[in-house]
Structure formats: C-alpha cells, structure tokens
Structure 1
C-alpha cells in the first residue's frame, strides 16, 4: 500500500511515454516534405507496422481523450474511407519498394463503425501495396455496441488476429455517468462471436478513477471480465482534462474518486488480477502467463508504442488518418488532426503532416532508458551507454536524483542499474521523468501519474 505522503509527492501530471520526445514537443519543422523523405529512406528489408485511425463514433463517451467525431449517419464515414484509401496510395508512392508488414492496428474513435465492405476494401488496398507477413498481428479496437456479425465476418476474412474490447466498467451507475452503457451479456456475446470465427486474441480495456467507482465495484468488474477469459487486459486511469476535452465537463466532478481512492482502486485491480493468474506487464497491462506479451516481457523483448505495450518489434510505424502519429528511425510525424485539412492534403497528393520532431542522438539514448524502465521496470545504464558510445557520467545528475527517490522505496540503484520496486510500479512515469529533458511540470497537458 502506498502512503499518503507518496501520493502527494509523486502524483504529478506526466506523459505516458508512448514516445520520446513526447507529442507536446512536436513542431511544424517536420512537415510533409520531410516526412516523405523519411519514408523514402526506410530499409525495405525491415518490417513495418501500420496504424489506421478511424475518427468516428455513434455517440461520445464522456471519458474519451481521443480524436473522434460523433455521427448518426454513415455518409461522412464512407467519405472518410475514400480519403483514407487515397492516403494509403500516397504513402505507397513515397516508399521505394513493397515493404513487409508485421503489425496492423485499427484504432479510433470506433473502427467498428465501418461497414464490413469498407473494412474489406481498406484491407485489400493494404494487401496489394504491402507484403503482409504470414505471422503478422492484425488488431482492431472494438466498441461492443456497434460490432455487428457481418463486420466480424469481414474481420475473419481479412485475417484479423486480435481485438481490443472497450469495457471500462460493468457497473451501470458508472456507465451512465460516462455515457457508455453496455451490459455484460452484450460484451460476452461479442467475445463469443469472435471466438466462433477463430479470432481468439482478446484484449479487454478497463478504467479506474471514473465517477462513482468504488473498490468493491472495480473488483466486481475484474471478476466479470476474467469470466470472459481474455488473454490481456489494459487498465488505464481516467485522465480528467476538461480544459483539453470539453465534453469531459459533462462528468460530475464531485463523483470522481480522489487521489487516494484512485490509488486504492489501482492496487485492488492489480491484486485481483494476480489472484486470477494474470502477470503484470509494465505500468498498466496484464496478460496470462502463457501469452506472447508475458513471454516477451520475461525475454526482455517487450516494446512500447502509441498503442501502449506491444510485442511488435518493427522500428518504423506508419500512421494514417487525422491525428495519427508515425514513428520512424529519423523521428516522429503527426498528421493534421483537423479532418478537413487532412482531407484536402491527401486529395492533393500531399502528406498531411502538421508537426513532428527529428530525434537527436541524445533523444535516442534517453528514449532507450525510458523504454527499458517503462517495459521492464529496470535499466542498466552501463549497457545503454556502451550501446550508444557515451560515458555513464553523462547521467550523473539523474542517478543522484534517482538515489534520492530510492529513500522512498520506489526504486533501487546498484552498480548503475536502476530497478523499480513493486511499490514504485505505479509511479514508473515519475521515475522516467527524471530522464526527460523536455518536461515542464508547470504545464497541464498530461494526465495524473496514477
């Protein structure tokens, strides 16, 4: 159990470190011309990862922090699909060869809003333009309220292997407070339909820190979720940022758990999942011991990208759709989040990049350190510095800061190896922040550490 003093000391607003440098530090210096050049320089022998953003939902979940639009009609979604397919062609025009692809992910929004034939058409374009490897993981985020049988038929036909199902909480009072009402039976039916079609890779997303959540309630949600027998779970703390996401003002703030209650919910979920045999992965993921993600963690091969923890080893991730971020060896590039501007750029045959950042050698070293801490809760600075041919003395100040943290029992330092303790696991972002040269604690653009 973490003390109140540690709550207050380390409950800072910090990045989730799905990239380094993080998105708030992107600038217009990286534009479509730069991005096209970066794509042309990619090694055609190295597998790629592809991400497709579908920025539409039928209704707004008030906890949502994603880039999405609400529509009750399909016409804007159908038009969007046409532009997304054009963007695939634009990207292919910049690549000098037919590249292998090891991982594909559809996120949103709600990709399940797509018509089955539109999903098939997008996948056919991908299959024509890229060499999808036989063991590629093809994943999609699913809203069980909009996942229709014919859509799941299309998923099966297109080779999808993994589904991430948004549950958040099964308590109806909580669901109504965040405008996301869906029964256990509805979710169970979707899971059964996926498995009947041979798609057995099931992730479930849960949240804590939502209005009206209680300790007993989150435990009951965990038990109900485990009854679905998912391979993996993601457990995220609700980020209340109404100054960035205006719809979050609809959430009754007086019903939000305070910091101590959030921590207690996190610990209760983690302990309950451990009782059910799930292994903790990094900060906020859990997996069965025989799952590939758990095996990757034990082998020291776990990775982290904009979708969170992953077994995907690709060095280059190409994002398509408004707001999608690409992660390439040269740096990061983000598409314009404004749907209209993104559409005009794509239709003009341009790369719809709004901003990005070229990574420096210093960034790469710090990124490796942060990734090791986030993925494996330990980092050998001697090894990292050898790999980058720099003296470990470069991080003397950071090591001193980490040693000060060790007094609180959240981290240990031995022979320049930093190890996060069980107590420190939920605080790993605060430990990573020591190595973040960009961080400005005065800014309110990040979520709470827990």
Structure 2
C-alpha cells in the first residue's frame, strides 16, 4: 500500500525560528563574552541604518492552557508584576551600558505568557522605562499578544498611545468541547469585543492565532472557527499546527489522551479545509502557517521579498540585532544567539549579581551563516538560490540529490542554481529545510526533540 504524502513526510522536525536550532547549539564552546562581542559588532553595523529589535517576555498567566508550549508561570497574584518589570528594566540598562550609542528601536514585541496579565499602568511604566535610554525609529513597528479574556480597552488605548499598532489575539478554536480540552474557555463575544475595540482605537494590523490538530477538533469545528473569524475580518492570521511535545513540557500537555488528537491525513484535511476557506475569504498565504489580507504590511513585505523570520516568528521587516529581555528570552546578533535563564528565580539571582542573565548560547560558524540564509529564504520566500558563490558549500551536491525525491513528489522544482517550493509543497517546507540542516543530518537526534512537521 502506497503511503500518502502526509504519512511519508510527517516526521519530527524543527520550526526553524533559528539556525542552528536550539538543540544543536554548541553551549560548551559559547561564552558570554562572545555574545557581547557580536552584540557590539551587529549594533555598530545596523543601529543607524535599520535599528534594533526588542523581544520582551512577560511570563505570567492566570491559568494553564494545555496546548501551550511557552515558558510561563501560572499565578493569580498580581503583586508579581512590579518586581518583574524592575528586573527587566535593570537588564535593559545593563545592555545600554554596553552599547556605544543610544539604541534606535525599530521593533518591539511583547510576548508571553500573557502580556495583558500586566496592568496598563505597568506596561506603560515598562515601555517608558525602555525609552529613557533609547529612541524610536521613524517607521517603528510595535506589537503585543493579547488574551481576549483579560485585554481591556485601557490596555489597547495605553499601548496605542505608546506607539503600538499591531496586536494579535490567541483564539485557537471556538468549539466548546475543544476549548474545554485545552483549558481555554473563551467565548466568541470576548474575541469580537477586543477586535472591534482595536479597530476603533486605530490599530493598523490585528491578528488572530488559530490552531488545527487540537484534541477532539473536527472539520466542522475548523469551518465554524474560520467562518466566525471572517465576520471579524482580522488583517492577518496564524493558522498553526498544534505541536504536541509533552516530553518537553510535561503535564501541561497531558490534559487529554493522544488518541483524542487528529492524526496524519485527518489532521492534514483540517489544514487544507482551513487554507481553502481562508483563501476564499481573501487571505493570502505568507510563509509557513501565516495568512494576510493584501492590505496588511506582512503581505506587502512578502511580495517585496523583505519578510523575515526569527524567534518572534515572522516579521514584516528585518533588523540584524534582536535583544531578548526577560526570563527565557533569546537574543540574536545574527552572528550568535544567547538565551536567558529559564526560571524566574535564576533570572532574578543573576541580575542581583549584576550579571547578564544568559545561561547558554551559540556562536555561528561561517557554514552556519550560509545555511541560515538558505533556510530563511525557504521559510520566508519559498525559494533559495546558490547562484551567488557566497551561498555555495561543499555538501550542496548531496543536498541537491536528497531533494530529488521531493521533486518527484511534486513538492519542489529545480530552477537554475536553486529550488522553488511548489504550491503542493508549501505545507512541507519544514521537511525541505531539513534537507539543508547539516547539523541535523550529521547527528540525528536519539530522543524526541521536535514536534511533527505535519
């Protein structure tokens, strides 16, 4: 019996928010001084031309969503807000003391956790504190993640007044049964309320995050969720595959049985139906898992070839330097990665000792930098080329050969000195990227590290 494409290619694989992927970082060869050196190099190369990005991780949530793989701390005690913001601002000051000039901030993203766990007053205190020693780039793009159940109009207005114009709301699915299974009870009217508030206030890009492959989710659930989404007309959508990684995240993803999850072709049918409905509603596929109306900046960025991908996901513009602030945040100088302590207690302790709270990282080799460009090209533009001599590397012919079966299956086509992912191949772009992942090829994991690609 011949396997379907889904059965054939549904294997564990990275989501490629970085290359090398975190499990392949050479921690033993990394030193914080490496990070500082590449930080300064990247800052001097790009601060006055493109500016820098900040990712700020705000980890607190009032309840646990069992689909979530993020670093979070569950608590209803809001007195945790003040000391955390003070710690983040101390970390930021340590970075500003290292930099030779005032940073010009092009992008800020508040992620979590639940950023709207924090009061509007505390979020204002945080952003005002950042800009005591920084400037806003002329065409800045500031964004945050909002929980529809606790985002107030005051949250939206306060952040808008601080320069935020993009907000994304986690929706996941509107089915009562699915919401109960993932412990995310969120009525449609809550999502509608915050979406219309954001439109009234003047946000120029409102996003909804949807997930397919959730426990008990049916084709009818996906259809109903996307139909309801259409009625709210968000500017962009993320339509993610549920990443079932309970071996990494522990009991948080064990709130249901494995047999409750849609599998293989059944799960792919959910995606294909969702994608078809999104296209019918005017949403264009942008990179992997993302869709946007043609008026949205992400669509324009994709058409112009400027789409970028990093630890924040897809962004409409690129900065070479991204500094991550807060517990577990990852920074990227292009030449190296650095990750902060994962526990809040360790994060606080390092800052109390007047140390950058970095506990691991990776210094990219010249080979890493070339492979990183190829994978970014594939993830952001569905094509890559080695016409330029600088994009060639010794294993290229072997990779070319390994891609031949995917060409036979219609997932890609070979073009002169490059490849082009076909429409049929877009759902399998992670698999195509894996063919370029030399670190993964040289040392296949012996244990489960990644979610399934489909």
What TM-score do the two structures reach when normalised by structure 2?
0.95
Q: Return the offset for 1:210.
A: 0.3
Structure 1: where are the runs of 5+ without partners? none
Residues in 1 aligned to 2:58 and 2:401: alpha-carbon distance in whole angstroms: 45
Cα displacement (A) at 1:28: 4.8
Query: Is 2:301 the counterpart of 1:296?
Result: yes
Greater Cα shift, 148-157 or 7-16? 148-157
1:163 Cα deviation from its structure 2 partner: 0.3
Aligned partner of residue 82 in structure 2, secondary structure: helix
Aligned partner of 2:165 in structure 1 is 161
Once residues 48 and 296 of structure 1 are traced to their aligned partners in structure 2, the CA distance between those partners, rounded to angstroms, is 18
Structure 1 range deviating more: 18-27 or 391-400:
391-400
Offset of 1:391 from its aligned partner? 4.7
Specify which of 166, 179, 183 is matched with residue 183 of structure 2: 179
Aligned to 1:13, the other structure's residue is in SS state coil
Q: Deviations over 1:256-300 (max 9, x none)?
A: 111111111111111110001110011100000122211111111
Matched with 1:23 is 22
Query: How do 1:292-441 residues align onto structure 2 when only pairs under 5 Å count?
Result: 292-383=297-388, 386=389, 388=390, 391=392, 394-439=395-440, 440-441=444-445
RMSD over aligned CA atoms reads: 1.5
Kept in 2: contact 1:32–1:352 (CA 8 A): no
Q: Equivalent residues in 2 for 1:244-259 (5 A)?
A: 244-246=248-250, 247-259=252-264
Q: What is the distance in 1 between the residues matched to 2:122 and 2:128?
A: 10
Q: How does 1:269-284 map to 2 (within 5 A)?
A: 269-284=274-289
Quote how far apart the aligned CAs of 1:312 are: 2.1
Q: Distance in 2 between matches of 1:131 and 1:425?
A: 39
How many angstroms apart in 2 are the aligned matches of 1:197 and 1:443? 48
Write the distance in 1 (CA, Å) between the matches of 2:64 and 2:446: 30
Question: 1:338/1:405 Cα in 2 relative to 1: closer, same or farther (>3 Å)?
Answer: same
How far apart are residue 254 of structure 1 and its match?
A: 2.4
Partners of 2:248 and 2:34 in 1: CA distance: 29
Mapped to 1, the partners of 2:38 and 2:348 lie a distance apart of 21
Match of 1:45 in 2: 48
Structure 2 gaps, min length 5 = none
1:362-410 C-alpha deviation (Å, 9 max, x unpaired): 1111111111111111112213xx2x2x656640100011122211111
Aligned with 1:129: secondary structure? coil
The answer to which of 306-315 and 67-76 deviates more is 306-315
Deviates most, 107-116 or 399-408: 399-408
SS for the counterpart of 1:448 is coil
CA apart distance, 1:251:
2.2
What's the counterpart of residue 150 of structure 1?
A: 154
1:119 pairs with 2:123: yes
Tell me the distance in 1 between the aligned counterparts of 2:301 and 2:156.
28
Is 31-40 or 296-305 further displaced after alignment?
31-40
Secondary structure at the counterpart of residue 136 of structure 2 = strand
Matched, 1:14 2:13: yes
> Could you state the TM-score of these two structures normalised by the residue count of structure 1?
0.95
Measured against aligned partners, the alpha-carbon deviations of 1:31-62 in whole angstroms (never above 9, x if no partner) come to: 43332333333214241010000011000000
Measured at CA, do residues 157 and 391 of structure 1 come closer, stay the same or move farther in structure 2, by a change above 3 Å? closer
- State the alpha-carbon separation in 2 of the partners of residues 309 and 112 from structure 1: 21
C-alpha contact (below 8 Å) 1:31/1:333 kept by paired residues: no
Tell me how far apart the structure 2 counterparts of residues 401 and 317 of structure 1 sit (CA, whole Å): 34
